[in-house]
Amino acid sequence: MTGMTMLRVENISHRFTGKDGPLDVLDRISFDVAAGEFVCIVGPSGSGKTTLLHILAGLVTPSEGRVWLDGTPVTAPGREVGLVFQQSNLMPWRTVRDNLALPLELAGMTAEARYAQAERTLDWLGLSDFAAAFPAQLSGGMAQRVAIGRALIYDPRVLLLDEPFGALDALTREQIQLELLRLWSNSGKTAIMVTHSISEAALLADRVLVMSQRPGRLRAQVAIGLPRPRRLDMVHDPEFGALARQIRAHIEAAGGYGQAEPA
């Protein structure tokens, strides 16, 4: 269930400066995200989706505009916001437990306290049996679950995900989509995810934001009124199909993907 506005994106524009001159990436992006809402962002490649996510995380300072979290401007990375990247980026020489506990270790938490928190997170992720395993011993889906757990171990209020399933095979991707929905539902977090998959966006989100080609502008917002909990077989429902077609039409009007939609 969603609540009052938590995150406010206000007139965000961004320009990179390179050897060939300035490159406008984002142009006057504004939207609100309610507490507990799951929002997906889709759009053509190069439309600035990842840059926007990094601005929301405080990793990039926008050229213009501001991001507000509960009325406070986001100007740097903080514990209120967790970020999951496209790759799991687990340290191969550390066990699953030690990878999970790394943010707490860097924050100066005692070994006893951080391992206690890691054990609770492992149980929540359903990975307690793999606490002593190394990343090379994990499947792609399990590694990405660890990455999600590492972003959540601080108990952030907002979870940002940058195409977290793009490197997974189709069956694993479906499984981890359901896992993410379970974790999100149980945690009550606010989630914002970038994806290239229309079906993934319609399956996961309460609302889908469609961006235009670069410089990225907010082209459309599509409310997803499908009931929760969501199921994979919903993709065969006429209502799901209508929503997917609506999103696709907005993307095509915004410039399209330039190639077939990824699964």
Q: What is the pTM of this model?
A: 0.88
> What's the pLDDT at 237?
92
Residue that is written with structure tokens 């799951």 in the block: 38
Please, how many CA atoms are within 13 Å of residue 251, restricted to the half-sphere of its CB? Answer: 26
Q: Is 80 among the domain residues?
A: yes
Q: Is 113 among the domain residues?
A: no
- Number of neighbours of residue 46 by Cβ within 10 angstroms: 15
Task: Write out the two tokens for 42.
Answer: 């889709």
Q: Is 8 exposed, middle or buried (0-12, 13-18, 19+ CB in 10 A)?
A: middle
Q: Is 101 among the domain residues?
A: no
Range of the domain at 11: 5-90+138-253
Segment-wise mean pLDDT, segments of 10 residues, the chain, 263 residues:
83 88 91 96 90 95 95 90 86 93 88 90 87 91 87 88 82 83 87 94 96 92 93 91 94 66 38
Residue that is written with structure tokens 């994806």 in the block: 195
Domain count, the chain: 1
Q: Is 169 among the domain residues?
A: yes
> What's the pLDDT at 256?
65
- Residue from 186, 164, 29 nearest 83 by CA: 164
Q: Is 118 among the domain residues?
A: no
Task: Write out the two tokens for 227.
Answer: 């009931």
Task: Write out the two tokens for 201.
Answer: 């966006």
> What's the pLDDT at 29?
96
Q: What is the dihedral of CA 198, 204, 207, 211, to 10 degrees?
A: -40
Task: Write out the two tokens for 131.
Answer: 């606490």
Residue that is written with structure tokens 């514990």 in the block: 79
Q: Is 119 among the domain residues?
A: no
Q: Is 127 among the domain residues?
A: no
162, 86 Cβ separation under 8 angstroms: yes
Q: What is the CATH number of the domain that holds 80?
A: 3.40.50.300
Q: Is 53 among the domain residues?
A: yes
